[in-house]
Amino acid sequence: MQNDAPESRRPENRWFHLCMADDLATLNAFVTTRVGAVPLVAQNIKGRVVAFRNVCTHRFAVIHSEPAGCGPLRCPYHGWSFDADGVPVGLPFNPTDFQLEAEGRRRLALHPAALARCGRLVFVRMAADGPSLEEELGAALFARLAALSDAFPRRGAALEPEDDWERIDAANLRIHQAPDGALVLHSAAPAGADSRFSRTVTLYPATAPITADAEQPA
Ligand code: FES
């Protein structure tokens, strides 16, 4: 299908909000999405948070099929696992089945995707190279989002945005701010992705009184 959009507006060249930084803070935590038909994954590998196409370079299977979770970056089919550079490092039966030396494994590294943070917000882009997130959003909006995300560090009970709340739109992210101090962040699934890749989280200031049973994951 022909894509007539200007190159900079094509989905593969755009940044998409993926998750909060704390979603990727623990070892092996991952969050996935799709841009068009291409699956992407951001993952914590030994403390490094990196992003790749979520597609195994052996036989092109999707590696992580869940929207989020915790587990090594390991293909479910023949068990190849990948390091933080995307290089397959654990290949069961390599001596008999694949016989890949270091150079061969490097050639089969996962395709990198771009990853950027704005405060505690994590964005991904399918294209590894291109304008920075700050360039795409503009310096003023970038600074505002960073400050807001840092000022509302706690997840809490979900709120329904009301019509008179302030609204901020940035990429696929829509933020509603309640007058008395709470943020509702809704990340729409990128074009071509189904709704399980949309995410909503309600954030509160560090000092807000939130009952323990109101704490919940995104
Ligand atoms: S398809 Fe992934 S290891 Fe074979």
**Confidence band (pLDDT; 50, 70, 90) for 175?**
very high
Over residues 29-57, the mean pLDDT reads 97
Supply the pTM of this predicted model.
0.90
Q: Whose CA is nearest to atom 3 of ligand 1?
A: 78
Tokens 């049973």 sit on residue:
213
Q: Give me the amino acid identity at 87.
A: V
Helical H segments across 40-190, by residue range: 102-107, 133-137, 139-151
Q: Which of 77, 87, 97, 108 to mutate to test the pocket of ligand 1 (most atoms within 8 A of CB)?
A: 77
Query: What pLDDT, on a 0 to 100 scale, did the predictor assign at position 218?
Result: 41
Say how many Å lie between the CA of residue 210 and the centre of ligand 1: 45
CA distances from 56 to 35, 78, 127, 216 (A): 17, 10, 17, 32
Say how many Å lie between the CA of residue 34 and the centre of ligand 1: 19
Query: What pLDDT, on a 0 to 100 scale, did the predictor assign at position 191?
Result: 86
Local structure of 145: helix, strand or coil: helix
CA distance 120 to 60: 32
Q: How many residues are present in the chain? A: 218
Encoded tokens for 87: 């290089």
Residues at CB less than 6 angstroms from ligand 1? 56, 58-59, 61, 75, 77-78, 80
Structural domains in the chain plus CATH codes? 7-115 (2.102.10.10), 139-214 (no CATH)
> Percentage of the chain with pLDDT > 70?
93
Q: Which of 57, 64, 78 to mutate to test the pocket of ligand 1 (most atoms within 8 A of CB)?
A: 78
118-164 pLDDT, tens digit per residue, is 999 999 999 999 999 999 999 999 999 999 999 999 999 999 999 99
CA angle 115, 67, 51 (to 5 degrees): 20
Q: Are 58 and 94 in contact (CB under 8 A)?
A: no
50-90 pLDDT, tens digit per residue, is 999 999 999 999 999 999 999 999 999 999 999 999 999 98
